[in-house]
Chain A
Amino acid sequence: MNEAWFTIGDYEVRNDDLWIVGTAICCAVSCAILGCFLVLRRMSLLGDAISHAILPGLAAAFMLTGSREPMAMLGGALVVGVVTAFLSTALHRWGRVPEDAAMGVVFTSLFAIGVVLITWVARDVDLDPGCVLYGLIEFTPFDTASIAGFEIPRSFAWLFAILVINATLVWIFFKELKIVSFDPALATTIGISAVLVHYGLMTAVAATAVASFEAVGSILVIAMLVAPGATAQLLSDRLSRMIWIAAALAAFSAVLGYALAVWINTSVAGMIASLSLGIFAVTVFAAPRHGLIAREVRRLSLAIRIAQEDALSLLYRRHERAAGAAASAPPLTKHAILEATRAGLIGRVALRRLRRLGLVDATPPGSISVTPRGLEAAAPLIRGHRLWESFLARDLNLPLDHLHEPAHRAEHFLSEEIRERLQAERPEASDPHGRPIPPPSPRS
């Protein structure tokens, strides 16, 4: 029965391992699918409250039926889970208790009742209170049922069923969930009941928490619900992609979490939960679009581009002024340019890039002059700047001494298209200060 399938290093992966990993994947993925909506609808804490609060439901069902009959436990926990959602809202609305405090009151009280009940019943039966904290996913293969001739672990069967149900529900009601998540007011106006969706989602969360209870307990399941969704939110701007990413991340942390837990001999569920937090933490920094590193890189490259453009237009203007006189402009020192544009590392990097692009010339060392190609590259910038100044002077009636600053800021963001539209509306040859507007570059 428990034969080895393959080996990883010295470790023989056996049938039992596969069942546990399969259970962990089903649990993590079914939580992650719902978790996306909890995260988007800012109801993560309600998920937290419900997963805590199913405990007394489980204990009460157990005390009433005297057995671990799954349907009874599911029913008991579902009732308490929905009651939690309802009670928190009621306390908030009618008791005028702040929303978060209302949740705090309801779920801690219910959880305390649950612990007391379980401590009570644990006197004479084998309901292990330890599974409240970290679940018993390690013992999954020992509790099997015969389904269609196969010996399948009970926990796996339940979680697989929940996974199928959750996936189907989200697939069928995708549109409704999406609208309610992003624009509840619109949902109401087009006849989708936000309240119905809310309680439906809460029921699904409660059912998932109940099915996951035996595997991962009632506290760690919060990490499984929220972490993949929150991580996926940093990785995607589309709901459908976010759900897929969350599911993939959940499955990944289930597999890797099991491997790590076996390796250092500790709780599997705890490892999956901490791993998903770790993945979130890494994503906060490393996400390609919304990550802190990517954002900082974007900010830096923008700063460098602006420093580059400022240096170029500074040189262009000097050249322009000198062109009126007989002699050509003496080159500027590097120090003077950095002073005028941006000192420090960013300014230096910008100058080095300009030199490498052949837009400025740095001979003799320490002095910098603009090359003909540099003048060509600076022309569109100056053009944008002066067109913008004309626009501000003509259309917004700004006084002459108020034009440079805003144009100086805007010039870096004026695209070719905007420049040409400004030009088309105001066909002028010079800006309000009387300086010539460079013609459009011949390439366009």
Chain B
Amino acid sequence: MFDELLRLLTLQDANTRTVLLGATALGIASAVVGSFAVLRRRALVGDAVSHAALPGLCLAYLVIGDRNFAAFLAGALVMGVGAAAFIALVKAWTRVKEDAAIALVIGGFFGLGIVLSRSIQNEPSGNRAGLDGFIFGKAASMVASDAALIGAIGAGVIACVALLFKEFRVLCFDRDFASSQGWPSLLLDLLLMTLVCVCTVAGLPAVGVVLMVSLLVIPPAAARFWTNRLGTMVCLAGAFGGAAGALGTGLSATLPAPASALTRGWPTGPLITLVAAAIFVISLLAAPKRGVAADLVRRWTLRRRVARQNLLRRVYEALEPRGDFAAVWTQESIPHSSRALRSALRAGLVERTETGFRLSATGRAAAARVVRAHRLWEIYLITQAQIAPDHVDRDADQIEHVLPPETLATLEAKLAEEGRLPAGVPRSPHRIGAPVEAGALRP
């Protein structure tokens, strides 16, 4: 099976080559357009549009009376644009909200499609329509000219996005700014929705009406985990979408087909969706920028650093009255969490002696830094933000661990300008209490 898949994916088979290329082009195009739809919070309009395409397909069949790919696409496009307009108008004209309008279109238009397709199939000649293939997608039924048409549509869509990249970017991130710059933001919105419709319709033969939205939504959502830049995100989404299209189509062509009443072979749509979902899950877990794993690691390191710094400050403040920061202390004389102590020991901030523990030279410097940051912030809060001295300790606790060095430098420069910069570690402006425990902190 894998040999076969490999053979397919390396395009050695002329028959599947076109189909595969068509599916890949479609995956790229819809992911690129979908990126903007997702950022514009229009992700599920694509779902409504694709469900609404079903009655369009049926009507095209009823009008033409035969299976004609271009006519199918035209019918689907008309109904899809109609559905998008229906949603926009219901939202604008009535008190019914957008979500209900989308759900109405999904259920109602799909029902209409089912009514039409059932009554077509109850006719003697109806099975020739091949409408069932459009419901869950059947890439294998595509012929070369169909695939070429899909490829051309995809190329057109991508060209359109490339030309209007700047406009779409502003539309997605700051529509009001776009309007204030005199750009036709309503027109751009309509254009974006039309592109979504075109992609959706082009994807129907491969992915089907039910799951087409997954190609619009899942690759961009996955790409979003990897980057904070729109250009990178769109390119990545395109790559993910293309991979999902190619792999899903390849899988559906190679997997041993089950004899099923509905689909006759593996439907392509669910497989493409599942490949895309796998990419999404991997991105969700592993992406270094916004992934969950990276997030957990960041959170965990932060928590450890906070615990360590709290320990240092605690020790520093306990030893401060004596003035001897190299003094030996024990868990009893200065209560603290043993996990923070272990972490500080590993980091070489604390040394073990025969009778207890002692701050190392680096530990003393680090402790002085932490306490200095804490107290500088307290002074800032008291003098600049007018907060009472007995209220600043907690606030400073929250911020001291994440205070960037630049802010600290600005703070010091400000104090120096006013001639109030204390040398070394300033005195605490209030009575000293225990620092907030690490668990209470949120990054």
A residues within 8 Å of B by Cβ?
A: 38-39, 42-45, 47-48, 91, 94-105, 108-109, 111-113, 115-116, 119-120, 122-123, 128-130, 132-134, 219-227, 229-230, 233-234, 261, 264-267, 269-274, 276-278, 280, 284, 290, 292
Contacts and interface: CB of A to CB of B under 8 A. Distances in A.
Q: Interface majority SS on B: helix, strand, loop or mixed?
A: helix
B211 A273 contact: no
Interface in B109-139: 109-116, 118-119, 122, 135-136
Contacts of B115: 261, 266-267, 270-271, 274
A299 to B, nearest CB: 13
Given A42-B99, A48-B106, A113-B274, A284 B94 contact: yes
Contacts of A91: 284
A43 B267 CA distance: 30
A100 B43 contact: yes
B241 to A, nearest CB: 13
B107 A224 contact: yes
Q: Which of A48, A120, A233 has the most CB of B within 10 A?
A: A48
Contact of A129 (B111, B112, B116, B260): B260
B218 A108 contact: yes
B300 to A, nearest CB: 15
A226 B104 contact: yes
A48 B47 CA distance: 11
A266 B218 contact: no
B298 to A, nearest CB: 13
A276 B108 CA distance: 7
B166 interface: no
Contact of B90 (A104, A122, A284): A284
Nearest to B47: A104
Nearest to B116: A266
Q: Interface majority SS on A: helix, strand, loop or mixed?
A: helix
B47 to A, nearest CB: 7
A343 B413 CA distance: 71
Q: Which 10 A-B pairs have the closest CB atoms?
A: A273-B111, A277-B108, A223-B107, A270-B114, A222-B107, A112-B273, A108-B214, A112-B270, A129-B262, A109-B277
B258 A277 contact: no
Contacts of A225: 103, 107
B119 A277 contact: no
A123 B258 contact: yes
Contact of B122 (A112, A266, A290): A266
A39 B216 CA distance: 25
Nearest to B111: A273
A230 B104 contact: yes
B49 interface: no
Contacts of A129: 260-263
B41 A100 contact: yes
A269 B111 contact: yes
Contact of B107 (A95, A108, A115, A221): A221
A269 B107 contact: no
Given A108-B218, A227-B107, A284 B273 contact: no
A166 to B, nearest CB: 18
Nearest to A218: B210
Contacts of A42: 97, 99-100
Contacts of A47: 103
B266 A223 contact: no
A141 B270 CA distance: 32
A312 to B, nearest CB: 33
Nearest to B215: A108
Contact of B114 (A112, A226, A267): A267
B259 interface: yes
Contact of A123 (B51, B218, B259): B259
B44 A100 contact: yes
B112 A274 contact: yes
A39 B96 contact: yes
Q: Which of A134, A226, A271 has the most CB of B within 10 A?
A: A226
Nearest to A272: B111
B31 interface: no
A183 to B, nearest CB: 16
Contacts of A226: 100, 103-104, 107
Nearest to A270: B114
29 contacts: A44-B103, A48-B102, A48-B103, A98-B39, A101-B38, A101-B220, A104-B213, A104-B214, A105-B277, A108-B213, A108-B273, A111-B273, A113-B270, A115-B267, A119-B266, A129-B260, A129-B262, A129-B263, A133-B210, A221-B107, A223-B107, A227-B107, A233-B96, A234-B95, A266-B114, A266-B115, A266-B116, A274-B112, A278-B108
A116 B270 contact: yes
B269 interface: yes
A123 B113 CA distance: 27
